[in-house]
Amino acid sequence: MRKAVVSLALVFCGAALATDGAVWTGFRSDPGRFAISFPGKPQAMTQTYDTKVGKVLAHIFVAPHGNELAYFVAYNDYPADRAVGADPQAVLQGGKQGLLKNGQRTLTSERSTSLGGHPGLEMTWKTPEGHTGIVRVFLAKNRLYQVMVMRRAGTVAPADYERFLGSFRIL
C-alpha cells in the first residue's frame, strides 16, 4: 500500500501562508473521522490492498506541493474481529514492516507516540535515491491512520512538517 502511495505522491483546511507561500486550509473528513490542515486542497482517492487479514480499502488524501514534496493522510479499516483486542503495538509494528518490506525504504528513526489516547508510532525513512519521509501512524480501534510528508532527494525539508503533522486530529 505505502509503495503505491509514495510513488503517486512523489509524482505529483482557517487559511494561513506556509513558509513558501502556499495557503493552508483546514480539511475535515467526516467518514474518515479526522481533521487536519493541508497546504492546499488535497486530492482524494481510494485503493484496495491485500493484507494478512484480507483486503482493505485505503482512503488517501494527497496535497502535492510541486514535484518535490507531498503531504498526505490515509486511513483504512481492518476487520473488527481481527483488530479489536489485538495488541496495538503489534499492529503498529506490522504497519512499520509494511512500510519497509519491499526494501525500497530504510528506517532512520522510530519513536512511540500517541494522539488523544490512541497509540502511535513516528518513523522517518529514506530511499536509495535519497528521498525521505516522516510518517505518524495511529491506531483507533480497528482504523489505522497514516499522516506523512515525503520529499524528493536534494530538496530542503520545509519548516511546515510539524505544522502539518501536528494539526492532525482524530474526531
Give the pLDDT confidence score for residue 47 in this predicted structure. Answer: 93
**Of 75 and 12, the one with more pLDDT:** 75
* Residue 20's pLDDT band (cuts 50, 70, 90): low
The mean pLDDT of 130-149, rounded to a whole number, is 93
Summarize pLDDT for 80-95 with one digit per residue, the tens.
877 667 788 888 888 7
In the chain, % of residues over pLDDT 90? 51
Amino acid at 67: N
Give the pLDDT confidence score for residue 19 in this predicted structure. Answer: 47
This prediction has a pTM of: 0.84
Q: Residue 22: is its pLDDT beyond 60? A: yes
Q: What rounded mean pLDDT belongs to the chain?
A: 83
Q: Residue 104: is its pLDDT beyond 90? A: no
* Residue 64's pLDDT band (cuts 50, 70, 90): confident
Amino acid at 56: V
Query: What fold does the segment set 2-170 form as a domain?
Result: Protein Transport Mog1p; Chain A (3.40.1000)
Give the pLDDT confidence score for residue 84 in this predicted structure. Answer: 66
SS3 for the chain is CHHHHHHHHHHCCCCEECCCCCEEEEEEECCCCEEEEEECCCEEEEEEEEECCEEEEEEEEEEEECCCEEEEEEEEECCHHHHCCCCHHHHHHHHHHHHHCCCCCEEEEEEEEEECCEEEEEEEEECCCCCEEEEEEEEECCEEEEEEEEECCCCCCCCCHHHHHHHCEEC
Q: Residue 14: is its pLDDT beyond 50? A: no
Give the pLDDT confidence score for residue 21 in this predicted structure. Answer: 64
Under a CB-based contact definition with an 8 Å cutoff, are residues 69 and 16 in contact? Answer: no
